[in-house]
Structures are given as structure tokens and as C-alpha cells.
Structure 1
């Protein structure tokens, strides 16, 4: 079982509906994930995953006092069930624009500057692979696409729903029983 960071772009109307009807939001997220090709470019995608790098990215961004919580989201969707580990959270379109702007001004080298892999191990950053200095390169291939995903969402004036999903082997959203 692994834990993946998941992101879904919502139009303002879709977000309003999600806040009123969290069950609809869960079905919508599941439908988008099922229909979207994993090869879709981040700038064109409605859904994006940081796979297991979510905690590393969160740790690194927190060190830099990043102004938006792009790993867990900021606002809880009221009355939503767990979509994995906990209920989903969202970022307003304004917060998505702020995050996109800040991400676009940052390189991955700046993000990891001064971080020692031993610091990650001591902080117990998921997924516990911090046995060498090169392990910090693990999230590089997802940082640029995540930035592109946020920039596209910001350009479209989209909000974003964010959640951590437990995945046994394939991409799924856990529906309530």
C-alpha cells in the first residue's frame, strides 16, 4: 500500500457544487481519474498526482515558508468523507494563482538547496528512502509538471481539490462503503 498526493482542478461552479454536495465531488473526481489518460500533459490535465513524493515536497516547501499549502490543501470540504486518509481540502482560485506564481519562480535546485538527506530521515519524511544524498533527486521529475499543472489551473481561474489517497497497487479513490 502506498500513499499518493492527488490534485483535481475544479471550475468555480464545480467547486461550489462540491462544497454543497461532497458525494458528487467524490464521484466527479473518480470519473475524471477513470477517464483521463495518464499521458495527458500537466497543462491539459484535470487530475495530477505527485505519487509518493507528496511528503518530501511538503517538507521542502515548508522549509522555504511557501505561502500556500499545496500538499494538503487549505480549506476542508465540509461534511466530506475520507478520500483516502482524510477528507479532501481545497484551494480557492486565488490561492491557486498565488501558488502557481511562486512555483514558477522556483527551481528544484532552489527547493532542495541546503537539505541533507539525513535531515529527511530524521524527520521521518515519507517514504523512508533517504539512504543517500542522491535520494533528494527523487521528486525532481514531478516538480516541473506540478508547476505546469498549477500554472494551467491558475490561467483557467480554477480552484483545486487536494487529498492523500491510499493505493494498494492501482490508482483508486476509496468510496464509502
Structure 2
């Protein structure tokens, strides 16, 4: 199981509903289901911490992994309350992410460097030679998700469950 990074796209109206009634947010997102086929949900599995590490190292201007703002008053969705990016920040994030491919994201990083930095899940860096490809695949999904959200004018809520 473990800690899984999750995202959901929200219309601006849905975001305002959630900000006005934080308990509604979890019900609304759960009603979307886990199905990623409609493009409103994304699960980046355990790659979230490595993506955060690499984006921070690049000085990325938007906190796309943990969200920029907490949904004040929201209940815990797993490992804390959800956070969100309003539509304007989603656009900035999508534009910036589109300029960074997987190889640029990870740079010359080694699996050992990630292990020594304590990047979750630590066991993957010592046993899986394809660990960076795993991060790239989830990163590509995040880029596509944020691009779709930006084009739709949506906000994005993010959480770790």
C-alpha cells in the first residue's frame, strides 16, 4: 500500500463549493471514483516524493506535488488535509511542466542519491534499476493531467493517501 500521491481536477465552481464547505470536498472527489479514464483523477503512486525532490531542485515556481494552499478546515484525506492550486496556478504549472521532460527532471541523479536523501519509498532506489523510469512515467502523466486541467480552466486538488 504505502503513501500514494493523488490529484483531482475541479471546476472553479466546485473549488468554491469546497472552500465554502470543506467536508464536501472529500465526498465530491470520492464521487468521481478512482477511474482515471475521464481525466478528472490522477494517481502518481509513490513517485510523488521523487517528483517533489526534483522539481524543488530545479526551482520550479509552483508546488504541484503538495499544492499551494490548504483547504482550510478540511478533514484529513489520508496524510493531512488536501491542498489545491487555483486555475491561474494550474496554468503556470502546466506551462512550466511542459518545458521539462523526464530526463531534464531527474538530470544526472542516481538512485543512490535519492536513497541517501531519504526520498520515499527508500527501498525502490536500492533494488529497482528502472526506478528513474518509474518516476518519468508518472511525471509524464502529471504533465498531461495538468495540461488538460489548464486547458479546461480547472483547479487541482492534491493529497497523499
Structure 1 length normalisation: TM-score? 0.86
In structure 2, the partner of 1:57 is: 51
Task: Please give the secondary structure, in 2, of the residue aligned with 1:9.
Answer: strand
Note if 1:118 corresponds to 2:126: no
Task: Please give the secondary structure, in 2, of the residue aligned with 1:73.
Answer: coil
Residue correspondence of structure 1 range 26-41 to structure 2 within 5 A = 26-34=26-34, 36=35, 38=36, 40=37
Task: Please give the secondary structure, in 2, of the residue aligned with 1:52.
Answer: helix
Compare the two structures and name the one with the higher helix fraction. Answer: 2
Residue correspondence of structure 1 range 1-177 to structure 2 within 5 A = 1-34=1-34, 36=35, 38=36, 40=37, 44-128=38-122, 129-131=124-126, 134-165=130-161
Question: Aligned pairs, how many?
Answer: 159
List runs of 5+ in structure 1 lacking aligned partners.
166-177
Superposed CA RMSD in Å reads 1.3
List runs of 5+ in structure 2 lacking aligned partners.
none
Mapped to 2, the partners of 1:98 and 1:33 lie a distance apart of: 27
Structure 2 length normalisation: TM-score? 0.94
